[in-house]
Amino acid sequence: MKIALRNAVLLMALLLLLALIPRLVSEFNLNLIISMAIYSLFVLSYNILFGNAGLLSFGHAAYFGMGAYTTIILFKKLKFGILAGLFAGAGTGALLGLVFGIFVVRLGGTYFALLTLAFNQLVYAAAEKFRFLTGGEDGVAAMRPKLALPGLAPIDMFSSVNWYYLVMVVVLAGGAFCWYFTRTPLGRLNECLRENEDRARFIGYNVYASKLAIYVISAFFAGLAGALAGAFQEFVTVTFINLDKAAEVLIMTFIGGARYFWGPILGACFLTWVNDLISSWTKHWPLIQGALFVLLVMYAPNGLSGLVMSLRDRLLAKAAAGPRPAV
Amino acid sequence: MDWGTTLAVQGLHGMVYGMLLFLVASGLTLIFGMMGVLNFAHGALYMLGAYFSFSILRWSGSFWVSLLVAPLGVAAAGMVIERFFLRKVHAHGHAHELLITFGIAYIIEELVKMIWGNKPLLVVLPPALSGSVAFLGIQYPVYRLFILFVSLLVFILLFTVLFKTRIGIIVRAAVANKQMTDALGFNVPLIFLLLFSMGAWLAGLAGVIGGPYLITNPGMAATIIIDLFVVVVVGGLGSVEGALIASLLIGCLQSFGILFLPQFAIVFEFLLMALVLIFRPHGLLGEAR
């Protein structure tokens, strides 16, 4: 009860802080925070596979890119509204996830990693070649349309502040669902499949269908994150879909730590922030990021969040033991 | 040029690339077969071979010296990767091994960009290898024939060692059943270290001879790694013979694909991979494990 109350208070404080941010920070930093929010949703979608299901995907950029392209192309060619465009992006991400998922979720481990990578490259090649739709290497650009809500005058999305609030609402809703998902029967089964797939099958679960459903859900949110990223940049190119992007989400998730729900969010925010901070004085940031990644893989497999938690446990244990008597 | 000649020439192109691919893929597939590690850094090692060769060539002035020395440098790099990185995370399981090689590939790629820059580098070939010869009634570049010659030579050497010598038997035994080989008293970690560096040597050699042909540039690791993964999946993880067949298949698919459907040559490769995974999930010659 006490903990539930504390969590509720913390959550309210966080929401209040997020609501006040546009008043507190500069426009430049506001844009940085929007980036962090979008990448947070992307890593959460990735962690449904990586952290919860234990599936190592090298092809999550396919869904992110699919979402981004769909949204921008619909804004441009069919004059979609902003919400319709974003959800169409998420929808096509999920659809692509379904098509690829049929093949990839049959496999586990290394084969899964390989096939997701190959499919990612397939989508990349398609985006590069279908120039009439995607503009190839040049990409496509489209302005963010106004937000039309029933009973209200259209809200201008050109203003960073309005756009910030929309992104926050979408990301928080998506993030809340991802969190809620870990508590649903399917979400629990997801973890069970990671720990012991044979046992889940033995109990009578349809492992294939469950994995496919999980894969599609993950692709949906990756598509939504991509749609937001596309709408944010008002521009999409093959960099939304290439191997670097697929690697980025893996690195963010791993550096943040896949074991805790908030770990990947920490990773996404931390890396986005440091990237911005550091890129002004060194262009070798990816090297540092890679070194950090390798160090964490070797010495702290639970990432930064794992380090924070073990530090906390150590401090709590010390506090519980009381001050060491002087000898 | 009539159709027959065109087909023969494209087939030869396919052979050249296929054999080059096999040089890199053979090490990758043996490493996977033995330790279950899919070495993501293998493409980066291949790229390292090309860049080492560029620098050694510039410093020594001789392509032949770089052909000899650069692969040894890559083998040393491979040894370091195995001994100081891969072995440390072995206890954490395959996902971590995959991740560490992925991280190392990422670092090597960035280092290459840092040291040699982002631009493609031009390797000047010795006069003996430049130009072309009359062949099948057409002019064929000497260098491509050289690639084919070197890779065939290495291929014969590799198969002789692997299938006709005692060391080869031990390696094949370790690939087939690591625990049993260990129990029989062979030093499996040492065998693996040597195998890993030999795989790196092969990748480095492929990089040296492939650099002038496929252009030495920082993207060459990412380009070949996709083809490599298709090769090992299609051939069957752990099977050298499978890797040979798959490499030649991919080489020909690319050269003929470009001839008939230039825009979608890459799609054939993935189609092949998808078909193999659906009907023979463990590859053409791979064993179910």
* Cβ-defined contact of A56 to B95 (cutoff 8 Å): yes
pLDDT of A119 higher than 80? yes
pLDDT of A91 higher than 80? yes
What pLDDT sits at residue A61? 93
B288 assigned to some structural domain: no
pLDDT tier at A216 (50, 70, 90 boundaries)? Answer: very high
Q: Among partner residues A114, A129, A251, which is closest to B263 by beta-carbon distance?
A: A129
Tens of pLDDT, residues B173-192? 887 787 888 888 888 888 88
CATH of the domain at B233: 1.10.3470
Residues 6+ apart with CB under 8 A from A80: A71, A74, A88, A145
Nearest residue on chain B to A243, judged by CA atoms? B222
B230 assigned to some structural domain: yes
pLDDT tier at A276 (50, 70, 90 boundaries)? Answer: confident
Best of A46, A99, A107, A110 to substitute, by most chain B Cβ atoms within 10 angstroms, is A110
Task: For residue B159, give Cα distances in angstroms to A22, A191, A283, B22, B164.
Answer: 67, 44, 45, 12, 8
And the tokens for B217? 């540039």
Question: Mean pLDDT across the stretch A274-283?
Answer: 77
> CA-to-CA distance for B69 and B208, rounded, in angstroms?
10
> CA-to-CA distance for A168 and A37, rounded, in angstroms?
7
Neighbours of B49 (CB within 10 A): 33
Residues 6+ apart with CB under 8 A from B214: B20, B220, B223
What pLDDT sits at residue A43? 94
Boundaries of every domain in chain A: 13-242
Q: Which residues are registered as beta bridge partners of B141? A: B132
What pLDDT sits at residue B229? 85
What pLDDT sits at residue A192? 86
pLDDT tier at A174 (50, 70, 90 boundaries)? Answer: very high
What pLDDT sits at residue B2? 73
pLDDT tier at B49 (50, 70, 90 boundaries)? Answer: very high
pLDDT tier at A282 (50, 70, 90 boundaries)? Answer: confident
| Rounded percentage of chain B residues whose pLDDT exceeds 70 | 96
What pLDDT sits at residue B45? 93
B289 assigned to some structural domain: no
B5 assigned to some structural domain: no
What pLDDT sits at residue A322? 67
| CA–CA min distance B158, chain A (Å) | 26
What pLDDT sits at residue B75? 93
Best of A294, A299, A302 to substitute, by most chain B Cβ atoms within 10 angstroms, is A294
Q: Among partner residues B94, B100, B107, which is closest to A109 by beta-carbon distance?
A: B94
Cβ contacts below 8 Å, chain A against chain B, sum to: 88
* Cβ-defined contact of A301 to B92 (cutoff 8 Å): yes
> CA-to-CA distance for B143 and B204, rounded, in angstroms?
18
Tens of pLDDT, residues B193-239? 888 899 899 999 999 998 888 888 888 888 888 888 888 888 887 78
| CA–CA min distance B276, chain A (Å) | 11
What pLDDT sits at residue A44? 93
Neighbours of B284 (CB within 10 A): 17
Which has more confidence, A279 or B48? Answer: B48
Neighbours of B17 (CB within 10 A): 25
Tens of pLDDT, residues B12-40? 888 888 989 998 998 888 888 777 788 88
B9 assigned to some structural domain: no
B217 assigned to some structural domain: yes
* Cβ-defined contact of A115 to B277 (cutoff 8 Å): yes
Question: Mean pLDDT across the stretch B128-137?
Answer: 75
What ipTM was assigned to the predicted interfaces of this complex?
A: 0.81
pLDDT tier at B263 (50, 70, 90 boundaries)? Answer: low
Tens of pLDDT, residues A66-83? 999 999 999 888 888 888
And the tokens for B197? 């560096």
What pLDDT sits at residue B281? 73
Question: Mean pLDDT across the stretch B38-48?
Answer: 90
* Cβ-defined contact of B102 to A247 (cutoff 8 Å): yes
pLDDT of B242 higher than 80? yes
Tens of pLDDT, residues A38-52? 999 999 999 999 888
Tens of pLDDT, residues B80-112? 998 888 888 887 777 788 889 989 998 998 899
Overall number of domains in chain B: 1
Structural domain range at position B182: 14-279
Q: Which H/E stretch holds residue B83? A: none
What pLDDT sits at residue B104? 92
Nearest residue on chain A to B114, judged by CA atoms? A284
What pLDDT sits at residue B78? 92
> CA-to-CA distance for B61 and A57, rounded, in angstroms?
44
The mean predicted confidence, pLDDT, of chain B is 84
By the CB < 8 Å criterion, does B95 face chain A?
yes
Question: Mean pLDDT across the stretch A180-187?
Answer: 88
